């Protein structure tokens, strides 16, 4: 983006998939497509359910089940 390249997506392999890259994508309004490491790191997911905020901490496998499988392929 600093070099003048217009982008809509941030694509990264597991080597770069980190909380810092997720934060960067949010700050720059890019859609992040990241392969995450399969370790015990937890990711915080916040969403509204029945009018109240529900927060969960999920590992990469649970995050995949929560986000990707729920919304289809």
- pTM exceeds cut of 0.75: no
Q: How far apart are CA 69 and CA 56, in angstroms?
A: 17
Residues 64/73, Cβ–Cβ less than 8 Å: no
Q: pLDDT at position 66, please?
A: 81
Confidence of residue 57 (pLDDT cuts 50, 70, 90): very high
Q: Is residue 34 within 8 Å of residue 23, measured between CB atoms? A: no
Per-residue pLDDT band for 71 (boundaries 50, 70, 90) equals low
Residue 12, token pair as written in the block: 């990264």
7-55: per-residue pLDDT in tens?
888 888 877 777 788 888 888 888 888 877 777 888 888 888 888 888 9
| Residues 61, 59: Cα–Cα separation, whole Å | 6
What are the backbone angles phi and psi of residue 66, rounded to the nearest 5°?
Answer: -70, -45
Domain parsing of the chain, residue ranges: 1-37, 39-73
**Contact assessment for residue 24 and residue 10, using Cβ atoms and an 8 Å cutoff:** yes
């Amino acid at each position: 983006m600093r070099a003048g390249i217009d982008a809509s997506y941030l694509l990264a392999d597991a080597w770069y998939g980190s909380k810092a890259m997720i934060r960067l994508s949010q700050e720059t309004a890019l859609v992040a497509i990241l392969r995450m490491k399969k370790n015990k790191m937890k990711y915080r997911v916040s969403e509204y359910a029945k009018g109240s905020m529900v927060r969960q901490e999920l590992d990469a496998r649970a995050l995949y089940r929560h986000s990707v499988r729920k919304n289809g392929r």
